[in-house]
Structure 1
């Protein structure tokens, strides 16, 4: 058995997926100065065995364990902290991250020794230095001031070669958000801080030279400062190799100079997360969100029709003052404005936001446990809110997955996107009794069964086949093979697949 080297400091978290990596841990490590040799980053994934995680952490015999805590890992962190303190009471546990930086804590973290509020690059170093030097701060809550973003050490050298090959590489050119949307923690830091352009481009370049080709920018408003956005886009446009970029953008700021650059990106290289949230001007005003509707419509049309960008467009269910009728209008309109994915989210009340000021007026009731999603309000009762949560899940499976693009259009006849999909989501939930672990073949069969009430069988079969067989390597759904009268179509599909494989083999041989 290999001997594990003892480390005084463990920086750890649980990511939501294996393909994700923690930028925050790498920032903390980069700024530990002379303590770096005494520290180690350990990353885990939610839904793992928490006792095993505690075992792996304590195997290094750390004096300090700092855990980055988020809404998706909060309950796991609670359990891991308890295990660490029960097994090794002398180990100091410090929690940081957005889930612990604001009160009230709605998960029981009381067994932790310290809570690091705010940006931790300086405060975590100071805490570790003091504890290792024999000084225990008296206050359990350590409130950090915003760091000087252009003066801290950057974290990108601490992505490993394994990370670069197997995980998303998260990067940021700025911190802060100038907008004041009440549901979002980013609105708390309204000042914008940027790295010098040449410094940031140099960091990207170092990652590129190490083989990084998958970049997820976590800037809240990538296209706010156009000159900065241009410099980054121009850097990647000069590259001949394939890559993937993800940006969060505001929907109303795409001037001509930015448009000309975006049009040059080829398909599959650019993904834009576009925050809409609501198209109801009164609701937007209630939550301090500024909507410029004409600009939004024009820019969504441009992105859909003149670029190859893949879009994720956000709509939220349950906003204060938003009725189900208003949400219906939002979805129906947004479907006509864009061909991108429409991400239907459920409102969450995060500690630190000002959403609670609406609770009494709109009867807002939230889940007391993570993810703190809304349960009901004066406009949408609990039963309907449950329907909408299932609606959002089935929307992802059918529409956002891209697996049923043509078949979805059969569902959305007469432009009644919301009404028709709502009826379908109610039907499929009753039929499947589940919203998870439904295979592609099973979804196709449910669509076939449901649409059979409205359309000619041959049209449905051909439409579903067109969708399912778009992806190379897929097989004809088993339920369709029961319909012998379509055997000719099935044989032709298999012949086409064989021809494609033969062409591919020849290309490879040449």
Structure 2
């Protein structure tokens, strides 16, 4: 029997764990031959279909999620038309809701799985050709011979710690810039917008088994590990043990993980302070800084605790903390989103990620959408279109604000000056956003240099006091000293003053100097030194006189 997996991702930088996680459990079963066709959602469907059909599989399997689902349907519908005797089985988060209408509407799909598949999928493989035996397979949803809908509930892995790790599978992809590691499964929280809001109980791997897997990951030269735990610090004791384990792999591996800022114990805070620079990259799940919004979203933890925890995480000099907000949550107004962005900027958040709410299948918020006054798209990615508190147009403004943040605040070269503008000027964000929209720039891809030019031109009109800061950022980003943001910079035959205060680097006579004056007498200002021997655009020396 030949099983072909369609590995369809949003880009080649991403890799799904579903294939290696499932294959690892049945790799020793010689009755099943596994093959894979990998592609991205941007590739032509006909080419993918042609490659799949050349394998002549008996079973086609794939994972469906909101960003690949539509393209996946186009592919499997064509394959089924060409190979009518091939069974098509799908799984993934797209099937956590009611699947009856879906199966009636897409008869080329034989069955779908709801929930966790490592234990249930091998059961289905053993009986894939005998649908009369499918009624006992947990999580399986299908239409029987009389086209009656059969729903076997949700599959939960009961022996999570006994699963064969996905790294054992020959399909585990070691060629990506990072790998994903699941050290717990399930979530203690009850967020109404999240597919994990009902995942109980939380199941945990032993520290020793995680250590063994990390050794394997390091042996393959992987430098970044994304920890998939829904809330890393739900159990402070376990989080402490993991942090100490991660220390064993410093500086070879950097760990990306999500923390709930409201659940930081004093002991955990002290441990975080002691960690070496760059070991952790943190995502702080915050979603909104409004108590009624969080309560309606059924997110556990008080807002006061969350804000204190977030302020602490963002203050740590040894790691960067990103914070996220979600536009479209019930009771969340556009004006509050702007205010919350300013608060996060004041906290010194490493990035501010503003996303639009998506009502995913199986979530409580999707079931209660009408009650909560939410209108949303019935098609992937199920984005919220309007709520009682935010209009269609305002949600578009929130999307455009997200573009602004990504282009300027979340870009290292412009972050410091953008943060100052946001924090020190209540009108900056709406005014700059209006400017970008009027200039038809908000949805246009802009180079790093173009963004600097736009910011300089805007501040020349509205915030001239910040022009020097933009010029300094421009120089330190290695931009051309012949363009407008560097119009006041003096570059020819600059000799150092008798005294200056060195900010970074070490001065030597071979450096090519430039001077940015701060006063009309051109005595006070900033000095930048560039290496003459090498083609390095960024300065290696900075001083103030």
TM range (shorter): 0.7 to 0.9
Question: Does residue 476 of the first structure (1) align with residue 462 of the second (2)?
Answer: no
Q: Given the superposition, is the C-alpha separation of residues 52 and 468 from structure 1 closer, same or farther in structure 2, using an over 3 Å criterion?
A: farther
1:59 to 54, 57, 65: 54
Are the counterparts in 2 of residues 63 and 90 from structure 1 also a CA contact under 8 Å? yes
Q: 2 CA distance for matches of 1:251 and 1:358?
A: 27
8 Å CA contact 2:261, 2:286 repeated in 1 = yes
- Within the alignment, does 1:227 sit opposite 2:237 as a pair? yes
The Cα of 1:90 is off from its aligned counterpart by 1.8
CA contact (8 A) 1:407 1:467 kept: yes
CA distance in 2, matches of 1:392, 1:27: 34
Larger radius of gyration: 2
Q: Is the 8 A contact 1:181 1:287 kept in 2?
A: yes
Aligned match of 2:472: 466
Q: SS of the counterpart of 2:221? A: coil
Write out per-residue CA displacement over residues 225-279 of structure 1, whole angstroms, 9 at most, x where no aligned residue.
2232222222221335332211111112222332233223333331111111112
Q: May I ask how many residue pairs the two structures share in their alignment?
A: 490
What is the SS of the residue equivalent to 1:268? coil
* C-alpha distance after superposition, 1:262-298 (max 9, x if no partner): 2233333311111111121112111212332332233
TM-score, with structure 2 as normaliser: 0.82
Picking from 5, 14, 26, the partner of 2:8 is: 14
For residues 182 and 337 of structure 1, do their structure 2 counterparts lie closer, same or farther at Cα, with a shift above 3 Å needed?
Answer: same
- The 2-side partners of 1:370 and 1:88 are apart by 27
1:27 equivalent among 21, 29, 41: 21
| Correspondence for 1:150 | 161
Q: Does 1:258 align with 2:268?
A: yes
Q: How does 1:88-103 map to 2 (within 5 A)?
A: 88-103=83-98
Shift of 1:171: 0.8
Residue in 2 that maps onto 1:78: 73
| 1:74 Cα deviation from its structure 2 partner | 1.0
Paired residue for 1:447? 455
CA 1:500 to 1:447, structure 2 compared with 1: closer, same or farther past 3 Å? farther
Please give the residue correspondences for 1:26-425 in structure 2 after superposition, counting only pairs within 5 Å.
26-35=20-29, 38-103=33-98, 109-131=106-128, 137=134, 139-140=142-143, 143-148=153-158, 149-158=160-169, 163-356=173-366, 358-412=368-422, 414-416=424-426, 419-425=427-433
Cα distance change on mapping 1:30 and 1:430 into 2, 3 Å: same
1:57–1:487 CA distance, 2 compared to 1 (3 A): farther
Q: Distance in 1 between matches of 2:240 and 2:514?
A: 45
Distance 1:231 1:469, change over 3 A: farther
Residue 118 to residue 166, structure 1, CA distance change in 2 (3 Å): closer
Q: Encode CA deviations 1:465-500: one digit per residue, 9 max, x unaligned.
A: 4334445xx44287528x755352997469833258
Q: Which moved more, 1:210-219 or 1:487-496?
A: 487-496
Stretch of structure 1 that moved more, 492-501 or 33-42: 492-501
Q: Which runs of 5+ in 2 are unaligned?
A: 136-141, 144-150, 495-511, 516-527, 538-545
Distance 2:102 2:436 in 1: 34
Deviation at 1:211, TM superposition (A): 2.2
Checking the alignment, whether the CA contact within 8 Å between 1:173 and 1:194 is kept in structure 2 is yes
What is the deviation of 1:45? 2.2
Which region of structure 1 is more displaced relative to structure 2, 129-138 or 33-42? 129-138
Q: Is the 8 A contact 2:116 2:156 kept in 1?
A: yes
**For the Cα contact (< 8 Å) 1:216–1:247, is it kept in 2?**
yes
**133-142 or 367-376, larger mean C-alpha shift:** 133-142
